[in-house]
Amino acid sequence: MTVLSRFRPAGRNRSAGARKTVTFGDASEVKGSPSWSVASLIFLFFVWWWIKRGPDPMINDRTFPSLRQSWDAFFELVDIGYRRVGLWDHTWASLWRVLKGLIYGVVVGVPVGFAMGLSNRLRGIFDPVVELLRPVPPLALLPLFIVWFGIGEGSKVNLLFFAAVWIMVIAARAGVLGVHGSKVHAAYSLGASRWQILRYVILPNALPDIFTGMRVALGVCWGTLVAAELTGTTTGLGAMIFAASKFFRMDIVVVSIIIIGVIGVAMDLVMRFLERRLIPWRGKG
């Protein structure tokens, strides 16, 4: 019961008229506060406005653009794009690379993670590979990837794949190892074959972990994107940042950063929505 009640939707206790007297340290009572989030955002913009106020601001316009400049830069990007590529095309190029990297990461990482969670031999085989390569920063591999996969899309998508795949391996492995022994035993006693246990017990049991892995990997992919777009392309938000920095267009740099942040948040919201729809049983085992 206590486990269940921890995952009960927020606020139910209150609507029932009951009021807890102990809330500090009670995780079920901490659900965030939208109004404080809005206030926090407003405060951030206020600080931005504050340091840029007046004719002689604390930080000059070349180093850090004002709200107004950034606003204008955003509409300049929307209207005419940057370096003859529209803002939407830059955004789409980056989004597509991130999605491809993530999808390849899932397609390769989940089976490898499952294999590592299911077989001693495969665990032995993959362990050194995963543990050696996992801590390597993707950027360190960029020179190799450019030589191997070319300066174009190949090296970029592979770099993002590299950023995502280890996270997916570990998430999938954790999902397999998290399966309750009695569930597997029950399935065997009900006549399930190995394959059926994999498909109908282990996979659904691992889905919540896989989903968490995808959310983490998505964030890491956006983090790697700018490095991936360092060279060999004129499209993408990362490429835009680098080109703009060479011309000291800090307004465009700032706008690109905000766009990446907003897309990251939007994608995480989409993932959370999908999670609620696709795996409503999360945390209820």
Partner 1 sequence: MKDLSVGELGMVYELPKGGSVEALQNVSFDLRAGRLLTLLGPSGCGKTTLLNIIAGFLAPTSGSVTLGGDSITGPGQERGMVFQQGALFEWQTVSQNVAFGPRMNRKKRSETETLVRDLLSTVGLQGFGDKAVYELSGGMQQRVALARCLANDPEVILMDEPLGALDALTREKMQGLILKLWQETGKTIILVTHSVEEALYLGDRLFVMAPRPGRIEREYELPFAKEGLDVDPRAMKASPEFIAKREELLSLIWEMEEQIMGHEGAMS
Footprint of partner 1 (CB under 8 A): 1, 4, 180, 182-183, 185-193, 196, 200-201, 204-205, 207, 279-281, 284-285
The C-alpha atoms of residue 168 and residue 216 are separated, in whole angstroms, by 9
> 152: helix, coil or strand?
coil
Find the farthest-apart pair of alpha carbons in the chain and give their distance in angstroms, rounded: 79
Q: Name the minimum Å distance from CB 203 to partner 1.
A: 9
Q: Name the minimum Å distance from CB 208 to partner 1.
A: 9
Q: How far is CA 93 from CA 115, 206, 228, 266, in A?
A: 33, 31, 12, 17
Q: Name the minimum Å distance from CB 1 to partner 1.
A: 8
Half-sphere exposure in the Cβ direction for 279 (13 Å, CA): 17
CB 116 within 8 A of CB 122: yes
Task: Give the nearer residue to partner 1 in terms of CB position, either 183 or 215.
Answer: 183
Task: Give the nearer residue to partner 1 in terms of CB position, either 248 or 281.
Answer: 281
Q: Name the minimum Å distance from CB 172 to partner 1.
A: 16
The C-alpha atoms of residue 201 and residue 37 are separated, in whole angstroms, by 39
Please name the residues in contact with 2: beta carbons below 8 A apart, sequence gap of 6 or more: none
Task: Give the nearer residue to partner 1 in terms of CB position, either 108 or 203.
Answer: 203
Task: Give the nearer residue to partner 1 in terms of CB position, either 36 or 195.
Answer: 195
Task: Give the nearer residue to partner 1 in terms of CB position, either 139 or 174.
Answer: 174
Q: Name the minimum Å distance from CB 175 to partner 1.
A: 12
